Structure 1
Amino acid sequence: MQSSNTSTSSVTAESPCIGHCTTVLGDDVCRSCMRTFDEITRWIEMSDDERIAVNQRVADLLKQG
């Protein structure tokens, strides 16, 4: 059986939300998931490709330290 995930990347379209959103405190970027307010509010409307792009941006940001 072939895996449905043929990509070698570990970045997925799953939400990085951990339930501690700081945008409700006025932050432009959530300190927990590192997504912008716009990315958070649009998440349910985004395609998988858009979600993966957001998650890749966050992963790259976290690698930079």
Structure 2
Amino acid sequence: MASTTSPPPDEPAIIDMEEFGRELIARRAAAGSPTVPRNRGTRRTPSKRALLAAIEKAGGRW
């Protein structure tokens, strides 16, 4: 269902990845370069575990 409060954009937003990277670095520096913990994955479903195992077996690393 379409939003009734926001008009649809004329064009899709285009993200400049170089600019985004600079802004991200600046935001992290302003926040004191926090270390964000990774999800330990203790509540993964069997299908998610199988998917991650298949990715690892194929040489990938998520």
Whether the TM-score (by the shorter chain) exceeds 0.5 is no
Structure 1 length as normaliser, TM-score? 0.30
TM-score scaled by length of structure 2: 0.31
Q: Pick the structure with greater CA Rg.
A: 2
Higher RCO (CA < 8 A, seq sep 6+): 1
